[in-house]
Amino acid sequence: MNPLLRKWKAAALRLAKQWKAGLKRLIARPRSLERLLLFTIAGIVLFSIVAIALTSLGLLRGQAKEQALSSVRAAAHQTRYEIRRVGEDTVTAARLLASRPTLARLVQESNTLQLQLVLRRFCETAGSTAARSSTTPSSWRLRASRFHGSRPSKPPPNRAKAS
């Protein structure tokens, strides 16, 4: 062990022994006004410290809760903003796609193969995932008809493929 640390440790032990001896002498003395005032003041100070510590603990807990709620509110606000932005981008992309005459013609003809290719190409160039989420041609027809202002046509009967 470091010699400097040994000296400090020895000094701390001597100081602790002196405090202990002083307290024993104080307690062993007969009751006096000095002793009564000392213990009363020490008790009041100790009580005040504990009361302040407990109050501070409660205030810190409340502040931590408020900070957590504030953080959650900020995250919710950011998420709402992102959802609104993505929704607006999707609507803009859908209107752009619906304005193309090719899409209207393919929906009217119920040409599902070409419709899939057009939608896939549009999604790849636009970087959109909205049209990719639906894979059934009937849902495409429904969505496309909403943008063209017409009622969706009934899905065509399943035609057997000639092999």
pTM: 0.43
Residue 84 within a domain = no
Indicate whether 118 belongs to any domain: yes
* Model pLDDT, residue 135: 47
Nearest to 90 by CA among 56, 57, 117, 122: 122
Buried b (16+ CB within 10 A) or exposed e, 111-142: ebeebeebbeebbeebebebbeeeeebeebbb
Q: What is the pLDDT of residue 138?
A: 52
Instruction: Determine, yes or no, domain membership for 94.
Output: yes
Residue 153 has pLDDT above 70, yes or no: no
Q: Does 121 fall in a domain? A: yes
Query: Does any domain span residue 115?
Result: yes
- Please give the residue range of the domain that contains residue 125: 89-148
Q: Is residue 67 part of a domain?
A: no
Is residue 124 one of the residues assigned to a domain? yes
Q: Is residue 54 part of a domain?
A: no
Give tens-digit pLDDT for 65-108.
Answer: 999 999 999 999 999 999 999 999 888 888 888 888 888 888 88
96-108 tens-digit pLDDT: 888 888 888 888 8
